Amino acid sequence: MQLSDLVFYALAAFTIIAALGVVALPNIVHSALCLVLTFIGVAGIYFYLGADFIGLIQILAYAGAISVLMIFAVMLLLSRDVSESNPSHKKGKYLAALFSGLFAFLLALSIYSTSWDLTEGAEIVDSIGKIAYMLMGDYVIAFEAAAILLLAAVIGAVILARGEEKR
């Protein structure tokens, strides 16, 4: 086993443990902080894969913006005792664990039994430049549609969170 393999396993273990913390911890503030750790671990996986731009976007958008939004909402909605603010269903969680475990097992089985047609090319250099050319070239319609989607989401979020007008 090489050192680079160990880095992958460490990153994967960090990500999975943090993700388990998101669903297992009884305090939702701790869950939100574990979510930030999960995002950073996934960003490390992207860096390990050579996708530097995606890793940076992951840290900027997910670990920066989305998790701050989550923590903001948690603080806004918290009204009672924080230590029991993230409960699970009492019986339903065993059923959910069974279902998701079975799902993961079946998916892993099918991943192992598939023969992947790997055509590993050269290491991707200058991914930012290629992404920029594609975003402003072939995929400019999708790029503009994403911009309109974000605008619609901003307006919708403001209108929804402001509540009804008092008449």
Partner 1 sequence: MSIGITHYLILSTILFSIGIYGVLAKRNAVAVLMSIELILNSVNINFVAANRFIAGDGIMGQLFSIFIIVVAAAEVAVGLALVIAAVRQKKSVNLDDYNILKW
Q: Which of residues 53-92 bind partner 1 (CB under 8 A)?
A: 53-54, 57-58, 61-62, 65-66, 69-70, 73-74, 76-77, 79, 85-89, 92
Q: Taking the complex as a whole, how short is the minimal distance between the CB of residue 9 and partner 1, in angstroms? A: 9
CA angle 73, 75, 79 (to 5 degrees): 110
**With CB under 8 A, what is the number of residues at the site for partner 1?**
84
Identify whether the C-beta of residue 42 lies closer than 8 Å to the C-beta of residue 63: no
Token pair listed for 160: 């929804």
CA distance 137 to 39: 30
Select the residue interacting with partner 1 from 37, 39, 40, 44 (CB under 8 A).
Answer: 39
Report the first-to-last Cα separation within the chain, whole angstroms: 69
CA distance 31 to 78: 14
Q: Which of residues 97-156 bind partner 1 (CB under 8 A)?
A: 97, 99-101, 103-104, 107-108, 111-112, 116-122, 124, 127, 130-131, 134-135, 139, 142, 146, 149-150, 152-154, 156
Q: Taking the complex as a whole, how short is the minimal distance between the CB of residue 99 and partner 1, in angstroms? A: 7
